[in-house]
Amino acid sequence: MLSDCDIICNIDLSEVIEAHAASGADITFVTKRMDAAAMHLAEQVSIIAADENGKVTDFTRAQPTEGMVNLYTNIMVVSREYLLTILAAASAHGYRSFFADVIVPSLGTANFRAYEYDGWYAYIGSLEGYFASSMDMLTQEAREGLFAVKNRPVLTKVRNSAPTKYKEGADVKNSFIADGCVIEGTVENSILFRGVKVGKGTVVKNSILMQDTYTGSDVTLNCVITDKDVTIRDGRHLSGHETMPFDVGQGGRV
């Protein structure tokens, strides 16, 4: 099993492995049928075509902007002996691209199969993609597809912080709030990591505040991403756009 680290999904990998073994495939590529307009792509991705039996017939690189496509999710199962064979051949011939030099030329001879994943999926290829995918997680569809899958809970690193404290005047809507936060202002359609402080009179909308971000009083944030340990002083007003979020680096002071 091989997978990139820039994807988010809740998939049963044992089912993929079983399908791979049953088909006798050399490689099984996990695909996801998606609307190109909703993929938040900042670069080319791999598109797979397969016949009615699941045999891969085409493998292309593209940056689609519309229509439904079978996206390669960057998850594959490859047979050990086949992997060793193609790696040896790639080394001997000086190949540089696994897909262009190995996969595409082998389409007519190798047994490549597609396994369609039907759950929630996100590809993080840019800051804009990260922001858009994070905002998607606030929807019911994403919450159910990622966090409510039976027998596949999503576990996070344990930090025994106190529960979040909502002080007088706090107003929170449609947001993920981690433990250890203190909220005195308004938080709407946002994600707050552990230990975030939202000051009195502060309004946080459509934003992602990472661990231990501190906002003073009467701050306004919209479409903002803060890294860890960021401080935003009283009275600051920061705004990006959903297609170009404003980001503050780790330890930043505004």
**Total-model pTM:** 0.84
Kindly give the pairing relationship between strand 197-198 and strand 182-183: parallel
Name the CATH superfamily housing domain 2-147. Answer: Spore Coat Polysaccharide Biosynthesis Protein SpsA; Chain A (3.90.550.10)
End-to-end CA distance of the chain: 44
55: which 2 tokens?
């045999």
Arithmetic mean of pLDDT, 28-35: 92
Return the ∠ at Cα 8 (arms to 229 and 122), rounded to 5°: 105
174: which 2 tokens?
């449609």
**What digits encode the pLDDT tens for the residues 161-207?**
899 999 999 999 999 999 999 999 999 999 999 999 999 999 999 99
pLDDT category at 68 given cuts 50, 70, 90 is confident
Task: With beta carbons less than 8 A apart as the criterion, state whether 70 and 48 touch.
Answer: yes
Arithmetic mean of pLDDT, 41-63: 83
Sequence spans of domains, the chain: 2-147, 165-248
Q: Which CATH class is domain 165-248?
A: mainly beta
Task: With beta carbons less than 8 A apart as the criterion, state whether 188 and 174 touch.
Answer: yes
CB count within 10 Å of CB 15 equals 11
**What digits encode the pLDDT tens for the residues 203-242?**
999 999 999 999 999 999 999 999 999 999 999 999 999 9
